[in-house]
Amino acid sequence: MSEQELFVVCPNCSSEVSPYVTECPYCGQRVRKRAPKISRGSDPDEPPPRRRRPRAPTLGRLRRDEIPGIAPETRPYATRLLIVAAPVANILVATNHVQLIGNGGLLFKPDHEWWRVATTPFLYPGNPGYEFVALLGVALFGTLLERRFGLLAPIAIFMLAGAGGAFLGAELNDFPILGANGAALGLLAAWFVDDRLANRRGDDRGNDLIGVWVFAAVLLLLPLADDTASFYAGIGGAAVGAAVGAVMSPLRP
């Protein structure tokens, strides 16, 4: 860039005049047709031009029941179905409309009735505390998995983990095998594996894992409080849930 002229010479009186005037102040002779424009960037003392602030992003209109700044969450219909199914089955058993042995309870080696491994997680004859804790685990971790992976995820994991755990318990002759401690541990393990794999991918969700470990210990030790819960069913259910969680986690990065 060329340097700005400091002065110009009047052709009439040979006086040095400012380059920003059109007529000589000494003799009145016209020296320029028009004054040159002042370059804003040439003056080092001039403050830089003010930048416009970018417009803040705006949110669309809120949906019904939506909290500002928080995306609406889907309702865990599948998890609710799993929770309701157990009390309904137990009411039928308590009122003698359904016989426990004849309709799905795993109280002995099933031989040719291995379908019982899929029905026994819904039956809780005896201690209501066991039913409450197991269904609480299903509600917590089933809801989390359903909101992340969709409607079928909690149902599939519940059935696979519950049946897998019951099968392991039956193979090891750990009878009776009733209730969903294995299914609840399967849901918990699937959620935990997905959370840890997401953390490895750089997605730290900031979950309280101490509470998860405590809840897992409570579910695993339920057989100490109720002899209808199987320790091996819990171990088997957790193993199945962990395997399913490892397969599902990369599907939702």
Return mean pLDDT, the chain. 82
pLDDT tens digits, one per residue of 132-177: 999 999 999 999 999 999 999 999 999 999 999 999 999 999 989 9
Is 36 within 8 Å of 20 (Cβ atoms)? yes
pTM of the model: 0.69
More confident residue, 100 or 13: 13
Identify the residue whose tokens are 């320790």.
Answer: 231
Least confident range from 124-128, 160-164, 182-186: namely: 124-128
Task: Report the CATH fold assignment for 77-251.
Answer: Rhomboid-like fold (1.20.1540)
Q: Which band of pLDDT confidence, cut at 50, 70 and 90, is reported for residue 1?
A: very low
d(CA 171, CA 63): 52
How far apart CA 24 and CA 1 sit, in angstroms, is 27
Lowest mean pLDDT among 39-48, 121-130, 202-211: 39-48
pLDDT at 239: 97
- Copy the structure tokens of residue 224: 């100490």
The number of helix segments (H) and strand segments (E) in the chain equals 8, 2
Indicate the SS3 state at residue 106: strand
For 33-55, write each residue's pLDDT tens digit.
666 665 555 555 556 666 666 66
